[in-house]
């Protein structure tokens, strides 16, 4: 008689949720610059992994945070410095990231972006997590109160007779 069999894993293999981020004040280089150009021409462009080195005030890497399966979905001039871009990317965050969103030390120049192999992708001053817009509840219909008379008068305390 055969021994007991191990049931197949019941853990579901689900795809992590993709989220949208903006690389603010970005000076793209290499493949990131190419992906930005393709996204402007075609609507979006694949990039792959996107590690961000968190920099201290001297520009030394003090930590790392990254996105996987990144797509560049757009870019626009940075509002604070027109020589830089705000680049919109979509990707998913691995579970082993230290937190859901990186935070850099005070007076830091921001982040250094790299490829998975260490090729420089440029720098960015900040990273913003773009949350999906929550649908607003519909405005309630205005209530219109019709004029009415009370059924009694205050002076007598008796019911008023209809005229």
Q: Which two tokens stand for residue 108?
A: 């830091």
Predicted confidence band of residue 83 (pLDDT cuts 50, 70, 90): very high
Q: Helix or strand or coil: residue 35?
A: helix
User: Does residue 5 surpass a pLDDT of 70?
Assistant: no
Half-sphere exposure of 127 (CA within 13 A, CB side): 26
Helices (H) and strands (E) in the chain, counts: 1, 6
Residue/partner pairs of 103-109 with CB below 8 Å, 24 or more apart = 103/54, 104/54, 104/55, 105/54, 105/56, 105/57, 105/62, 106/57, 107/57, 108/54, 108/55, 108/56, 108/57, 109/55, 109/57, 109/59
Q: Which two tokens stand for residue 42?
A: 């075609």
pLDDT of residue 126: 92
pLDDT of residue 77: 97
Task: Kindly state the percentage of the chain with pLDDT values over 70.
Answer: 77
pLDDT of residue 159: 59
As a whole number, mean pLDDT of residues 31-51 equals: 95
As a whole number, mean pLDDT of residues 83-87 equals: 97
User: Does residue 96 surpass a pLDDT of 70?
Assistant: yes
Q: Helix or strand or coil: residue 40?
A: helix
What gap in Å lies between CA 50 and CA 69, rounded to an integer?
A: 8
Residue in 17, 33, 15 with CA at minimum distance from that of residue 121? 33
* Helix residue ranges, H only, 56-149: none
């Amino acid at each position: 008689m055969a021994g007991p069999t191990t049931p197949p894993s019941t853990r579901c293999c689900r795809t992590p949720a993709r989220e949208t981020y903006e690389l603010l004040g970005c000076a793209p280089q290499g493949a990131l610059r190419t992906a930005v150009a393709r996204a402007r021409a075609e609507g979006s462009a694949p990039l792959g992994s996107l590690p961000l080195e968190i920099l201290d005030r001297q520009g030394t890497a003090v930590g790392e945070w990254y996105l996987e399966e990144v797509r560049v979905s757009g870019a626009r001039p940075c509002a604070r410095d027109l020589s830089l871009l705000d680049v919109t990317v979509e990707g998913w965050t691995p579970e082993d990231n230290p937190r859901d969103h990186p935070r850099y030390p005070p007076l830091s120049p921001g982040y250094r972006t790299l490829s998975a192999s260490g090729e420089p992708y440029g720098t960015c001053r900040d990273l913003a997590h773009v949350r999906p817009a929550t649908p607003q509840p519909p405005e309630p219909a205005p209530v219109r109160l019709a004029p009415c008379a009370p059924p009694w008068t205050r002076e007598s305390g008796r019911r008023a007779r209809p005229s």
